[in-house]
Structure 1
């Protein structure tokens, strides 16, 4: 049985989409609804939150472009807070530069949100979700986020069970920052993923047997697949998911083998180099070379073998920065914060993972890889978020194992502040980086396809989910990721 959280009037449409998968009929519904702005936007929102909108991407983009060009008068009283905020969020999510001025009719002469909307829980929730798509300089949305957060927290215990659950979940995890598949799972009870892909990856990982050969390393292949699925859950990305999962699993081994692994720094990409390594590292290096041979062979069939070069270069850069990190550790050196960040933005692994996430996407070109290798603003913002949020979550553990060169320690020493102040500053910098990402996703400034931008955005969403509550959900998955993994892969029952 399917249970929706939200728009009751669209239950029948969703049953059609999910139960019988009659995509043609669903397209007809979009076409019919397209004559009415409010009805259509509600339908688009529902399809997206169910996680099935990828079936109708062309139709949805065509409708959104048509509606945006209409320049609807949102100052009209016919548009309530829920509707205005929903439309704002959908347009922004799809890269349209809708102004936050659409909310001015809900603000008084003093620039504060009107008392009349305080009791509108549905509208406040919609505004709360919309505020997460703010960019730099949008003070109105900063106020909106603070205003809605305070009021939703106050009213949550008194709301109906359905709306109350929505509010409780949103206060922990916003839609925009959330993993799309997890959010779809929270919206309904059906998970539509090909389980054979999971079994294939588990077989591959077990056959390598690196866990027994490197027993200190984290065995996280399931979590790696979860990570990759968060980057792209749609069926057409199955090959890309497998490639990224394998890459993340290998990166984890490199990270956990940091000090001896730095011997890879000067190695050529050749199996003849294996004799220069310690005996226990040889199986890993051999497996790494084999993995990239597989990637090259697979991509050569598409005429895209050149893409592997960019992934290799990103891995080499990662190993070089791990070497610097290992050297700091051995020498007990605490670098200035700028020096730390210059290296740590690479050791966060997201240059490498972002590059690898594009390997399996057929539409990605050599020019796209060149763009990424130049570390554009969108990528740098993602690196900042990944690095700082990881640093906050792992600080105490790293301190316990004697690691001096941490971001928190460097910032504290350089600025003469407490840990609490440093953590607050890290969150502030991460929030500003999110605004950069939101800005870069808006048209027409983005010269790259949304397919590429969405990979970067989704990688950041995984960071928000994995390190929720300042926990290191990757190292300790049972605390954060286990419920999500169970819900998506093991027990897809009604939530």
Structure 2
């Protein structure tokens, strides 16, 4: 009953924040700007005073909802906003409108729009924000004023995270923005410029972006960071101006984000402590001396990568699969003799535990329990029995582990192609993502089920290859000591003149190219019949492997303080949110009378007709406010209105 009430409350979020959060925030943002009579943007070499860009305000609102992890509650409203702005961009392109391309505000907006649109699957070209590379005068200005343009360059750098293969201008934009951000940090470190005087913690935010690749970050932790750094959510910043949505009296939005995060945390803690750890103890995985006990690591990675509270069955099933994969892989690598491994692999092929004993029997029984439970749940959802398909998926994994163990124990040296063909299976990334996809999206087409019979789609094959190569770049030293081979060691063996560092660089270069191909297939592959939610699951598993193996092997160590701290933050530690810092009034210089008098009256009338009047009409139609609901483990205050008016009706 409690869970039903929680889900019911969460489903009311679209109706509960009408006018209190988004509309009130947007209206006050506009009225404050009108009151101040100007926007002062970036101290550009052209006129520094611009009327407010309403599209930018909307994009900033969408960006903030994404950062706070609230998009699941406002999907329809966000889609309408983005569709409107997207077609406005397309309309300007079709009419060949010459835009002012020497405006830092325009570059900020275009790079923000590019990132949001591309992440949502819109077809956008890199020229949408890379136009500044062809404007030498503007580039020179940015280089000379890298401190005041640092917010713009940070947005450009973020946009380049979503780079596709062959987009060389995006590579140039990334190099340019990265160079200037490093330069700005150096100037700040010498006390010649204070980032944080306008935007709190901006210096830390820039360092974080440069240090931590987007592809290696998990959503749930990202949401926590932005909630705790709420004062850093800048709309734009220049030498003398700074607008941030989060301080425009939107405490309700912060409160909602906090409650939403706490709600997810309570679910994750319950699933880990009361379901996963008990399952591990049930099969004795915590007492196998040869095996890595990775229950917490496995669950943390799956839960924090998706940040969706509603898919409990999916999270626990995939986490159990990851735990079992770790134990079975260790058994094949370190514990079992070749004879024992063949017996276990044969039992999996027959799906019969006869002849098994000890660790082999425990592993098989746990596998059978997992597959049976999964097949029953899928049968309940879809009415289809896919037991044989799932068993085939695991048969393939166990045979790949046996093949690799045979190579190692018999000192057989495979070719690179042979190794990758087997290694892409043995990494089992596809096992995790296909199991998750079936439970998360019951409407998956039949082609996904065919993937269980080894007919993998391109996006799945790219995921398998990238995850295998990532693991190889961080595990080659350990595997060399154990007498095993991987892609790095095979490349060195096939190219005697190349040192091991060169082979690592060679494999990382392949990973970089495949990363771009993978992102394009996830975000833009309209030929694939795979659903958007399934593609984003591929992206989640991709980011999990990047998190574990991008810079070091974080999965095989229990002493990595950062990942241990991340686990605590994701599941156990409460949010550390400080009171908002006051908005600096001195950052708004007064304009000469002749500048502000010309358009003030006309623009005030436009604002009133577009926002204030509809908002007033809405207030007149508002009904009684329904009081809050108290929920035991995750208290959630819900303000709901009786009338079912769209959240962003007037905002759009």
Match in the other structure for 1:56 = 74
Q: Give the RMSD, CA atoms, in angstroms.
A: 2.7
Q: Distance in 1 between matches of 2:169 and 2:119?
A: 18
Instruction: Single out whichever of 222-231 and 452-461 deviates more from structure 2.
Output: 222-231
1:458 is matched with: 540
After TM superposition, give the deviation of residue 143 of structure 1 in Å: 0.9
The offset of 1:269, in angstroms, is 6.3
**Cα deviation code 1:312-347 (max 9, x no counterpart):** 222111111111101110111222222211111111
After superposition, the Cα gap between the structure-2 partners of 1:387 and 1:339, relative to the gap in structure 1 and judged at 3 Å, is: same
Deviation at 1:363, TM superposition (A): 3.1
Measured after TM superposition, the shift of residue 70 of structure 1 is 2.1
Contact 2:301 2:544 in 1 (8 A): yes
CA contact (8 A) 1:50 1:187 kept: yes
Spell out structure 1 runs of 4+ moving beyond 6 A: none
User: 1:217–1:177: structure 2 CA closer, same or farther, 3 Å change rule?
Assistant: closer
Q: 1:30 to 1:371 in 2, by over 3 A?
A: farther
- 1:119-138 aligned at under 5 Å gives the runs 119=146, 120-138=149-167
Contact 2:430 2:463 in 1 (8 A): no
Of structures 1 and 2, the one scoring higher in RCO (CA 8 A, sep 6+) is: 2
Kindly provide the CA deviation profile for residues 437-494 of structure 1, in whole angstroms up to 9, marking residues without a partner as x: 221121534432110000001111111211242x211111431521210111121332
Query: 2:501 matched to 1:420?
Result: yes
**Alignment partner, residue 242 of structure 1:** 316
Aligned counterparts, 1:105-124, within 5 A: 105-108=131-134, 114-118=139-143, 119=146, 120-124=149-153
Q: Which residue of 1 aligns with 2:486?
A: 406
Q: Deviations over 1:87-144 (max 9, x none)?
A: 100001011111111234312367x981222311111111111111111111111111
Q: Distance in 2 between matches of 1:360 and 1:91?
A: 27
Displacement of 1:240: 0.5
Work out which of the residue numbers 254, 277, 284 in structure 2 matches 1:209.
284
Spell out the pairing of 1:12-27 with structure 2 (5 A cutoff): 22-26=13-17
Among 443, 457, 463, the residue aligned to 1:376: 457
Cα distance in 1 between the residues matched to 2:349 and 2:490: 35
* Residue 208 (structure 1) shift: 2.3
Change (3 A) 1:437 1:62: farther
Shift in Å, 1:69: 2.0
In the alignment, the residues of structure 2 paired with residue 46 and residue 391 of structure 1 have an alpha-carbon distance, to the nearest angstrom, of 37
Q: Distance in 2 between matches of 1:31 and 1:449?
A: 32
Alpha-carbon separation, structure 1, partners of 2:527 and 2:140: 37
Q: Distance in 2 between matches of 1:286 and 1:25?
A: 48
Following superposition, the deviation at residue 305 of structure 1 comes to 4.4
Displacement of 1:274:
1.9
Structure-1 residue corresponding to 2:116: 90
- Residue of 365, 371, 375 corresponding to 1:296: 375
Match of 1:265 in 2: 345
Say which one has the larger Rg. 2
Scaled by the length of structure 1, the TM-score of the pair is 0.88
Q: Provide the rounded CA distance (Å) in 2 between the counterparts of 1:477 and 1:84.
A: 43
For 2:211, the equivalent position in structure 1 comes to 172
The CA deviation string for residues 144-183 of structure 1, in whole angstroms up to 9 with x for no partner, is 1222222222322513251111111111223354211121
Q: What are the ranges of 5 or more consecutive residues in structure 2 without an aligned counterpart? A: 1-8, 28-52, 94-98, 189-194, 229-257, 578-652
Q: Secondary structure at the match of 1:481?
A: helix
What is the correspondence of 1:15-414 to structure 2 with a 5 Å cutoff?
22-26=13-17, 36-71=54-89, 73=92, 75-77=99-101, 79-108=105-134, 114-118=139-143, 119=146, 120-157=149-186, 158=188, 159-160=195-196, 162-189=201-228, 190=258, 191-192=261-262, 193=264, 194=267, 195-199=269-273, 200-212=275-287, 214-258=288-332, 259=336, 260-267=340-347, 273-361=352-440, 362-370=442-450, 373-403=454-484, 405-414=485-494
Deviates more, 1:143-152 or 1:131-140: 143-152
**1:262 to 1:254, Cα distance in 2 relative to 1, 3 A:** farther
Secondary structure of the structure 2 residue equivalent to 1:132: helix
Write the distance in 2 (CA, Å) between the matches of 1:316 and 1:48. Answer: 40
How many residues align? The count is: 473
Q: Alpha carbons of 1:263 and 1:270: their partners in 2 closer, same or farther (altered >3 Å)?
A: closer
The alpha carbon displacement at 1:187 in A equals 1.3
3-state SS in 1 of match to 2:162: coil
TM-score (norm 2): 0.68
CA distance in structure 2 between the aligned counterparts of 1:108 and 1:365, rounded to whole angstroms: 45
